C-alpha cells in the first residue's frame, strides 16, 4: 500500500431519504463535498501539512448550508446556536478545541488558533468567542448561522413534544457533524471535526466533536479519525481513541477497527454512527450504520469520490 498523501471527509451520518430533498439539493451537497476535498487536496498536493488540509476541508463544509456546522447549524431548544469544533495534529498530539461558541464564523479556525497558541486545549462559550476575536478571526452575528431548514426542523420537533405524538426523529433531524482526516507527504496525520450539535438540544449540551479521543483523534503511524453520531455514546466509548487503541495494541487493521466500532460497539447502543478514518498507509475508510452518510475521499492516486447514500459518485482526478 502507498503511504502517499490522502484525504477523507464526512458531512454527518443519518442522511435524509432521497425523496425528502430535491435532486438539485442532493447535487449541490455533493458539489460542496467535492469543493471541500479539493480545498484540502490542493494543500496536500503542494506539500502542505495534514493539519492545514483538514482545516481547509472543514471550513468549506462550515460555510455550506447543507451540513450541520457553521452556516446552517442546528438550533438549541431556545432557538440559539452553540457550535463546537476540534483539531488534532498526529505528529505531536497537539490539539485545540472550542465548544458553545456563537459568534466565530468558522469554529474549526478557532480550534486551530487555540492549538497554535499553546495556551489551552479547550475553551468554552464567551471565552472561546473572545479568544477567536482576539486571534483576528472573522466574527458574525449569531443570526448568520440560521437557515429556514433548521427553524422548520426545530419547530417540528417541538410540536411533536407538545402534542405528545411519539414519532421518532430521524438521525438527520436530530444531529449532524462534519469532519476530515488527512495524511501529508511527510506521513503526518491530522483530524478535525465541527458541529452545530443537534436540533432542540438542551442549552449548554456538549457532544463528542470537541472532545479529543471521543469525536476526534490523530496519531502518526496509527490513524486519524473523525466521528459522527450521538455524541454522548461516543464520549462514553471514547470512540475515536478506541480505533487507535485497537490498531496499536490489538493489531487490528484500520478496516477491522472502524467496522467493529460502528457496527458492533456503537450499534449496540441502538444509535446511528459513522466515521471517516485514515491509517499510516493506504486510503480512507468511511463506515456508517445509517441510511446514508455524507462522505468523500481522495485516494493515494489522486482520484476523488463523493457519496450521500450507498451509491458512490466517482469524479475523476482531484
Give the pLDDT confidence score for residue 215 in this predicted structure: 98
The number of beta carbons lying within 10 Å of the beta carbon of residue 265 is 16
Give the pLDDT confidence score for residue 240 in this predicted structure: 98
In a domain, 146, yes or no: yes
Residue ranges making up the domain that contains 312:
6-317
**Annotation marks residue 177 as catalytic:** yes
Q: How many domains does the chain have?
A: 1
Share in percent of the chain as helix, strand, coil (round to 5) = 35, 25, 35
CB of 226 closer than 8 Å to CB of 55: no
Candidates 76, 146, 177, 193; catalytic one: 177
- DSSP-derived letter for residue 268 is G
Helix runs in the chain, H state only? 23-45, 50-62, 107-117, 125-134, 148-163, 171-174, 231-236, 239-250, 254-260
Give the pLDDT confidence score for residue 15 in this predicted structure: 77
Query: Mind giving me the DSSP string for 108-123?
Result: HHHHHHHHHH-S-SEE
Instruction: Note if the pTM is more than 0.75.
Output: yes
131-to-98, 138, 143, 184, 214 alpha-carbon distances in Å: 10, 12, 20, 29, 24
CB of 318 closer than 8 Å to CB of 57: no
Give the pLDDT confidence score for residue 159 in this predicted structure: 83
CB of 44 closer than 8 Å to CB of 185: yes
In a domain, 34, yes or no: yes
Q: What are phi and psi of 14, to 5 degrees?
A: 80, 35
Sheet holding 216-219, edge to edge: 216-219, 223-229, 273-279
Question: Distance between CA atoms of 248 and 230, rounded to whole angstroms?
Answer: 26
In a domain, 213, yes or no: yes
112-to-119, 167, 269 alpha-carbon distances in Å: 12, 39, 32
Nearest to 112 by CA among 75, 76, 62: 62
Tell the burial category of 213 from Cβ atoms under 10 Å away from its Cβ (0-12, 13-18, 19+). buried
Per-block mean pLDDT, blocks of 10 residues, the chain (318 long): 84 81 86 97 97 98 95 94 98 98 98 98 98 98 93 84 62 71 98 94 95 98 97 97 98 98 97 96 96 95 95 89
Give the pLDDT confidence score for residue 1 in this predicted structure: 41
Give the pLDDT confidence score for residue 3 in this predicted structure: 66
In a domain, 125, yes or no: yes
Question: Distance between CA atoms of 102 and 86, rounded to whole angstroms?
Answer: 15
CB of 303 closer than 8 Å to CB of 317: yes
In a domain, 1, yes or no: no
Helix (H, G, I), strand (E, B), or coil: what is residue 46? coil
Question: Distance between CA atoms of 105 and 102, rounded to whole angstroms?
Answer: 8
180-to-33, 53, 217, 269 alpha-carbon distances in Å: 11, 9, 11, 25
The number of beta carbons lying within 10 Å of the beta carbon of residue 22 is 10
For 301-305, the CB contacts below 8 A with 24+ separation are 301/2, 302/41, 302/45, 304/34, 304/37, 304/38, 304/41
Give the pLDDT confidence score for residue 165 in this predicted structure: 58
Question: What CATH code is carried by the domain that includes residue 157?
Answer: 3.60.20.30
Amino acid at each position: 500500500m502507498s503511504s502517499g498523501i490522502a484525504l477523507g471527509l464526512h458531512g454527518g451520518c443519518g442522511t435524509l431519504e432521497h425523496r425528502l430533498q430535491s435532486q438539485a439539493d442532493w447535487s449541490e451537497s455533493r458539489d460542496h463535498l467535492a469543493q471541500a476535498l479539493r480545498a484540502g487536496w490542493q494543500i496536500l498536493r503542494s506539500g502542505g501539512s495534514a493539519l492545514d488540509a483538514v482545516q481547509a476541508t472543514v471550513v468549506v463544509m462550515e460555510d455550506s448550508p447543507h451540513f450541520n456546522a457553521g452556516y446552517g447549524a442546528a438550533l438549541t431548544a431556545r432557538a440559539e446556536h452553540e457550535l463546537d469544533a476540534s483539531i488534532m495534529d498526529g505528529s505531536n498530539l497537539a490539539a485545540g478545541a472550542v465548544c458553545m461558541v456563537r459568534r466565530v464564523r468558522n469554529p474549526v479556525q478557532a480550534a486551530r488558533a487555540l492549538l497554535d497558541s499553546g495556551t489551552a486545549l479547550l475553551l468554552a462559550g464567551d471565552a472561546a468567542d473572545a479568544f477567536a476575536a482576539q486571534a483576528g478571526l472573522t466574527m458574525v452575528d449569531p443570526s448568520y448561522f440560521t437557515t429556514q431548514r433548521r427553524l422548520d426542523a426545530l419547530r417540528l420537533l417541538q410540536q411533536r413534544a407538545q402534542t405528545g405524538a411519539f414519532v421518532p426523529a430521524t438521525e438527520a433531524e436530530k444531529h449532524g457533524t462534519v469532519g476530515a482526516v488527512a495524511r501529508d507527504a511527510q506521513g503526518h496525520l491530522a483530524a478535525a471535526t465541527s458541529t452545530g450539535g443537534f436540533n432542540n438540544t438542551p442549552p449548554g449540551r456538549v457532544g463528542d466533536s470537541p472532545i479529543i479521543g471521543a469525536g476526534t483523534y490523530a496519531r502518526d503511524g496509527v490513524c486519524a479519525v473523525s466521528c459522527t453520531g450521538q455524541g454522548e455514546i461516543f464520549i462514553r466509548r471514547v470512540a475515536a481513541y478506541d480505533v487507535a487503541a485497537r490498531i496499536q495494541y490489538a493489531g487490528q487493521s484500520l478496516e477491522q477497527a472502524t467496522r467493529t466500532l460502528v457496527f458492533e460497539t456503537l450499534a449496540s447502543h441502538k444509535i446511528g454512527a459513522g466515521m471517516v478514518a485514515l491509517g499510516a498507509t493506504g486510503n480512507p475508510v468511511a463506515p456508517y450504520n445509517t441510511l446514508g452518510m455524507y462522505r468523500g475521499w481522495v485516494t493515494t492516486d489522486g482520484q476523488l469520490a463523493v457519496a450521500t447514500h450507498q451509491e458512490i459518485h466517482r469524479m475523476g482526478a482531484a
